[in-house]
């Protein structure tokens, strides 16, 4: 499982640690952030203690109106052994009661000069990216006319060669051989290459080539949303392949269903052109233009007209 700690937040956002050094490596398990306004008022019945707590000017201005006993009680309840950390925005000075409670329970107290709303958005995006579900798929990811196309298939079927031809035609390589995919923002699949093999392409008989060095920086990109999967397989004469494209099959990656086309491979077929057209046709479908359905409707009209003539 992905893991994020308060120490990661300090390093990434350049936060200042004020107290609670013992809890720097507590795991943050959710991207949800809590602003403990109700808790400042004394309502802890549904206190989400396992979330990162973000305190801003509103919460602290109310806190200053409490009695000394109430301040100590609220801060002791706020700093539990499950709380992964508390961040104070706008560079506001942390209350002494909060620092004392954090030392007892080991809750790291961090400070940032950033405004509360902006800091909440930045930390949420960071946590969603780091805590997102992920997987690795054997294939090639290419950006074709803005569509992230994942080429899959058995080893040696021609995925890398097809990608090389697509790069020569002006498209961009994202990853070859192994594609790391994260599910971010609900159902968005973001694919990228492992750091070790970024910009590299393996061509059998030729070896490993550096696409960025050969074709320039415009021929690669670091990541891309996976929108379409094209599975390449050797031509099977006994198998009936889709010839109209009316039915749309899907492939499940993590928790997201992605459209998938199966393209048979045999000598003489220009796979790069076929994949390129498949991406353009997919783009048309997303714009509401479905050629297969239009053809089916025209065919139905012709058949009905023929029946009326009889």
Between 55-69, 131-145, 199-213, 256-270, the lowest mean confidence (pLDDT) is in 256-270
For residue 306, what pLDDT band results from cuts at 50, 70 and 90? Answer: low
Quick one: tokens of 289? 């233009």
- 100-151 pLDDT, tens per residue? 999 999 999 999 999 999 999 999 999 988 888 889 999 999 999 999 999 9
Residue 159 labelled as part of a binding site:
yes
Question: What's the pLDDT score for residue 1?
Answer: 58
Q: How many CA atoms lie within 13 A of 238 on its CB side?
A: 0
Instruction: Please check whether residue 173 is in contact with residue 219, taking contact to mean a CB–CB distance below 8 angstroms.
Output: yes
- C-alpha span between 171 and 179 (Å, rounded): 17
Question: What's the pLDDT score for residue 309?
Answer: 60
* Averaged pLDDT, 40-53: 95
Residue 155 labelled as part of a binding site:
yes
Q: At 122, is the secondary structure helix, strand, or coil?
A: helix
User: What's CA 84's distance to the chain center, in Å?
Assistant: 23
Instruction: Please check whether residue 131 is in contact with residue 4, taking contact to mean a CB–CB distance below 8 angstroms.
Output: yes
Pairing between strand 86-88 and 109-111? parallel
**What are residue 170's phi and psi, to 5 degrees?**
105, 5
Which residues does the annotation mark as catalytic?
A: 138, 159, 177, 243
Residue 4 labelled as part of a binding site:
no
Residue 154 labelled as part of a binding site:
yes
**What are residue 69's phi and psi, to 5 degrees?**
-65, -40
Domains located in the chain, CATH noted: 4-131 (3.40.1390.20), 133-290 (3.40.50.300)
State percent of the chain over pLDDT 70: 94
Residue 153 labelled as part of a binding site:
yes
């Amino acid at each position: 499982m992905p893991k994020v700690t308060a120490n990661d937040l300090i390093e990434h956002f350049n936060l200042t640690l004020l107290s609670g050094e013992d809890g720097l490596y507590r795991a943050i398990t959710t991207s949800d952030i809590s602003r403990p306004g109700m808790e400042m008022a004394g309502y802890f019945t549904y206190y989400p203690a396992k979330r990162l707590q973000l305190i801003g000017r509103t919460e602290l201005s109310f806190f200053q109106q409490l009695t000394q006993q109430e301040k100590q009680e609220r801060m002791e309840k706020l700093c539990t052994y499950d709380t992964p950390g508390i961040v104070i925005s706008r560079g506001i000075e942390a209350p002494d009661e909060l620092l004392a409670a954090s030392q007892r329970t080991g809750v790291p107290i961090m400070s940032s000069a950033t405004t509360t709303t902006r800091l909440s958005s930045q930390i949420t995006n960071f946590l969603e990216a780091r805590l997102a579900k992920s997987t690795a798929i054997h294939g090639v990811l290419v950006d074709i006319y803005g569509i992230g196309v994942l080429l899959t298939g058995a080893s040696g079927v021609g995925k890398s060669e097809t990608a090389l031809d697509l790069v020569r035609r002006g498209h961009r390589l994202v990853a070859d051989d192994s594609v790391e995919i994260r599910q971010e923002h609900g159902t968005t699949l973001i694919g990228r290459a492992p750091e070790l093999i970024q910009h590299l392409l393996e061509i059998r008989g030729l070896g490993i080539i550096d696409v960025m060095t050969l074709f320039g920086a415009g021929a690669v990109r670091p990541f891309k949303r996976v929108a379409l999967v094209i599975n390449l397989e050797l031509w099977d004469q006994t198998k009936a392949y889709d010839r109209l494209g009316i039915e749309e099959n899907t492939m499940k990656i993590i928790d997201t269903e992605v459209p998938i086309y199966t393209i048979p491979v045999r000598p003489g077929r220009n796979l790069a052109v076929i994949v390129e057209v498949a991406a353009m046709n997919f783009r048309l479908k997303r714009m509401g233009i479905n050629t297969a359905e239009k053809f089916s409707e025209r065919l139905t009209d012709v058949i009905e007209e023929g029946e009326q003539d009889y």
